[in-house]
Amino acid sequence: MSTASRVLAGSSHPISAKTRAKVIATAEKLGYSPSALARALVSRSSRLIGVLVSDIVNPYFSVIARGIDDVASRAGYVTMLSNVDRRTSTEISRLQTMRDYRAAGVIIAGSGLDADPLAADLAKAVRQAKEQGIQAVSLATRDIDCPVVTADNERAAHDITDHLVSLGHRRIAFIEGPAGMTTSRQRRDGFLACMNAAKLGDLAQCLPGGFDFEAGHLAAMRLIARPPLPDAILAANDETAVGALNALRQANIDVPGEISVAGMNDLRVAQFVGLTTVSLPLYEMGAMAAQHVIDNRPGEATTTFLSHRVIPRETTTRRT
């Protein structure tokens, strides 16, 4: 038994070539597959990585998940995925499940809420997981005591706003993300900071929105309903921007002729419609978080910001 184990697990223990061959041949013949469960049990460490996303259908998260899985499977790890629909309670319960499976680590991809009554419970669940040797990594700024690998949402919003300003736009409207979300606030803050710095604070306008197509469509309709139109619209999100774009085009308003439109994230849809946006390092965030778990790095609660960059496309132009 131990000999077979040694051969199959690739131990460094010396084994005669003959015996080794025999073990391998027999395993093959029997269709034997070592139980990763039993292995994890005895070795006290699984090769499971838990991933908590809001919704895998949202390309923001599927790109992150892809980054995680690429690194994970290259290292022989398996990704356990769970959708939590932005509900902290679900997040806690799924985290618990990942803990039951003794995941090597859990990557929490979604943003939190600014005033979340359950934040403390989540923090506690993470602490308990950590006490059990399960690493936690967050992909957004949250009240969790764990390393964070993220994009600088505020600066990204600042930079894309700055791009619009540099194009000569002065009256700029910002369609916000979902109310209460930390990421929403960060992006709005970045927008406002840039506008204020450019002495354009008075010409800045914020509209409630959301991260989806419909929210952008609706917000743009409201803008159209009470002229004059701003010089440019920045949406919290590519999808939101596309919704706005749609409303504008339906109203026969020329983009970028009459108004410029920009988004954030640089997901596939942004390329489709030629949307000016700022590219966030989503894939890299996932990849780096997974690497962090695999390397079993000491879990100091440091924040790593990965870099973004402005991508000018056809929905923006210079205003003279």
Partner DNA sequence: TTGTACGCGTTATCAC
Partner DNA sequence: GTGATAACGCGTACAA
Residue number with CB closer to DNA (13 or 74): 13
Q: Which residue do the tokens 């339906």 mark?
A: 250
Q: Which stretch binds a copy of itself (CB under 8 A): 98-106, 145-153, 188-196, 201-209?
A: 98-106
Binding to DNA, residues 13-72 (CB under 7 A): 13-16, 18-20, 32-35, 38-39, 41-44
CA 313 to CA 275: how far, in whole Å? 5
Q: Which residue do the tokens 């041949």 mark?
A: 25
Pattern 42-61, a copy of itself, x by CB under 8 A: ----x-x------xxx-x--
Q: Taking CB under 8 A as the rule, does residue 313 contact a copy of itself?
A: no
Is residue 116 within 8 Å of residue 86, measured between CB atoms?
no
Instruction: DSSP for 24-86, please give it.
Output: HHHHHHHT----HHHHHHHHT---EEEEEES-TTSHHHHHHHHHHHHHHHHTT-EEEEEE-TT
Pattern 239-258, a copy of itself, x by CB under 8 A: ---xx--x------------
Binding to a copy of itself, residues 257-276 (CB under 8 A): 268-269, 271-272
Alpha-carbon distances of 257 from 95, 200, 252, 266, 320, rounded to whole Å:
49, 22, 11, 22, 11
Under DSSP, the state recorded for 230 is P
CA 100 to CA 87: how far, in whole Å? 20
Give the angle 159-86-278 at the CA atoms, nearest 5°. Answer: 15
Residue number with CB closer to a copy of itself (268 or 318): 268
Min dist. Cβ of residue 97 to DNA (A): 13
Q: Taking CB under 7 A as the rule, does residue 3 contact DNA?
A: yes
Pattern 110-129, a copy of itself, x by CB under 8 A: ------------------x-
Is residue 45 within 8 Å of residue 77, measured between CB atoms?
no
Partner interacting with residue 131 (select from a copy of itself, DNA, none; CB below 5-8 Å by kind): a copy of itself
Partner interacting with residue 63 (select from a copy of itself, DNA, none; CB below 5-8 Å by kind): a copy of itself
Residues that bind DNA (CB under 7 A): 1-3, 5-6, 8-9, 11, 13-16, 18-20, 32-35, 38-39, 41-44
